[in-house]
Amino acid sequence: MMSEPPPGEPLWVQSPFMKAARKEPTPWTPVWFMRQAGRYLPEYRRLRSQIPFLQLCKTPSLCAEVMVRTVERLRVDAAILFSDLLVILEPMGLRLEYPVGEGPVFHNFLQSPHEVDRLLELDSLEELDFVLEAVRLTRSALPEHIPLIGFAGAPFTLASYAIEGQGGSHFRRTKSFMYSDPGAWQTLMERLARAVARFLNGQIQAGAQAVQLFDSWVGCLGPDDYCCYVLPYTRAVLEAITQHTPVIHFTTGNPALLPLVRQAGGQVIGVDWRIRLDEAWQTIGYDRAIQGNLDPVVLLAQQDLIRRRVQEILQQAGSRTGHIFNLGHGVLPQTPVENVMALVNMVHELSASKAGSESPSTWFSPSE
């Protein structure tokens, strides 16, 4: 059982998620998912049939409700703010749209390096107050023992949207911008780095216990380009984050970047399934915590396969402190909800028995 917290200390401080982020021992391996509140959930789809996505993001009370209900339903160990990576670019001058059935689009994206100044400095968080309000409302509606994770896109991933106008596949325009005009690239990345740091610190001040920096598309680069065109700016963001707030630095697509991702910073490094977890941890170094790394497609399979894969990942984490279980990327819309719920139970049960402690799942009746 957990010992009594010191008077005045909020319960989330000693939660398994926060302990793992600090590399302290935990009674079970904490687990949460990227895109845990999303289209695979029927109740989310119902809500979305009544309100467009961007309007949902701009209605803090609904954002809070969506996430709090999801956490209750899944019994995950952490909540992530319900919002989107791209809303930060609107007050910076880009017009964001989510056309039905397609990914997000910016129609007035940066056509060439000469247009770099069309991306404006984010001088204040006033126009993003709806996000901060969502943090405040989510924090106050969540049970006290559940930490809330704030998030933002990393400068490279945001730059790629600003330059491609949408999620690209080869990032040809982004790389050409970067190679052809390093000065404009520096201006762009420094401006984004300042904006992201300001935004994340705003979320921390509004009540987030940890933050995740998503560099979702940076895996399209090789290590030398990462080093030169990305690392200094990501490092600047991470160095500017409010002290004592754990940061999860997440990238996907290219395990060869991991030693550099470590150098850029983050107490927790998020990894995908393209590398074994044990190998990733050895590369990153055991002084950092690690988050990952089940392939989201495994959740479309039978539960006995899911269980085997969970067991393998837990075995690879071994008896080290500092593993946060997650998928290597977001939950896919086709995922059966019962598999996501079963996965949470599997992680809790298998890791608790490994640690010789009681699983949190036994606190609830299995028929619920």
C-beta of 203 vs 351, nearer to ligand CP3: 203
Cβ count near 266 (within 10 Å): 26
Over the window 63 to 82, marking each residue x when it contacts ligand CP3 by CB under 6 A and - when it does not, the resulting string is: -----------------x-x
By CB under 6 A, tell whether 39 contacts ligand CP3: yes
**Least Cβ distance, residue 42 to ligand CP3 (angstroms):** 13
By CB under 6 A, tell whether 86 contacts ligand CP3: yes
C-beta of 34 vs 125, nearer to ligand CP3: 34
Cβ count near 113 (within 10 Å): 18
Instruction: Look at residue 104 and give its three-state secondary structure.
Output: coil
| Among positions 84, 127, 181, 278, the unique one binding ligand CP3 when judged by CB under 6 A | 84
Tell me the backbone φ, ψ of residue 340, rounded to 5 degrees: -65, -45
**Least Cβ distance, residue 292 to ligand CP3 (angstroms):** 13
- Give the active site residue among 40, 77, 139, 161: 161
Cβ count near 259 (within 10 Å): 12
| Among positions 36, 254, 326, 339, the unique one binding ligand CP3 when judged by CB under 6 A | 36
By CB under 6 A, tell whether 330 contacts ligand CP3: yes
By CB under 6 A, tell whether 128 contacts ligand CP3: no
| Among positions 53, 179, 286, 364, the unique one binding ligand CP3 when judged by CB under 6 A | 53
Token pair in block for residue 247: 């940061």
Q: Which of residues 170-229 bind ligand CP3 (CB under 6 A)?
A: 214, 216
By CB under 6 A, tell whether 37 contacts ligand CP3: yes
CA distance 289 to 269: 6
Token pair in block for residue 338: 């019962």
Distance of CA 144 to the CA centre of its chain: 21
C-beta of 84 vs 129, nearer to ligand CP3: 84
Residue ranges of alpha helices (H) inside 251-333 are: 258-264, 277-284, 303-317
| Among positions 13, 22, 35, 320, the unique one binding ligand CP3 when judged by CB under 6 A | 35
Residue type, position 49, single letter = S
**Least Cβ distance, residue 6 to ligand CP3 (angstroms):** 32
CA distance 21 to 15: 10
| Among positions 17, 28, 106, 151, the unique one binding ligand CP3 when judged by CB under 6 A | 151
- Look at residues 207, 100, 198, 110 and name the one whose alpha carbon lies nearest to residue 150: 207
C-beta of 57 vs 110, nearer to ligand CP3: 57
Token pair in block for residue 101: 């059935």
By CB under 6 A, tell whether 85 contacts ligand CP3: yes
Question: Greatest CA separation found in the chain?
Answer: 61
C-beta of 110 vs 184, nearer to ligand CP3: 110
**Least Cβ distance, residue 219 to ligand CP3 (angstroms):** 10
- Give the active site residue among 69, 75, 84, 276: 84
Token pair in block for residue 327: 């998928």
C-beta of 83 vs 359, nearer to ligand CP3: 83
84 is catalytic: yes
Classify residue 207 as exposed, middle or buried by CB count within 10 Å of its CB (0-12, 13-18, 19+). middle
35 is catalytic: yes
By CB under 6 A, tell whether 167 contacts ligand CP3: yes
161 is catalytic: yes
56 within 8 A of 8, measured Cβ to Cβ: no
Tell me the backbone φ, ψ of residue 284, rounded to 5 degrees: -70, -35
| Among positions 27, 91, 104, 322, the unique one binding ligand CP3 when judged by CB under 6 A | 104
Token pair in block for residue 21: 């982020």
> What count of residues does the chain have?
368
The CB-nearest residue to ligand CP3 is 216
DSSP 8-state class, residue 38: S
Sign of CA dihedral 316, 322, 326, 328: negative
Residues known to be catalytic: 35, 39, 48, 84, 161
Which residues sit at the interface with ligand CP3, rule CB under 6 A? 34-39, 48, 53, 80, 82-86, 103-104, 151, 167, 214, 216, 329-330
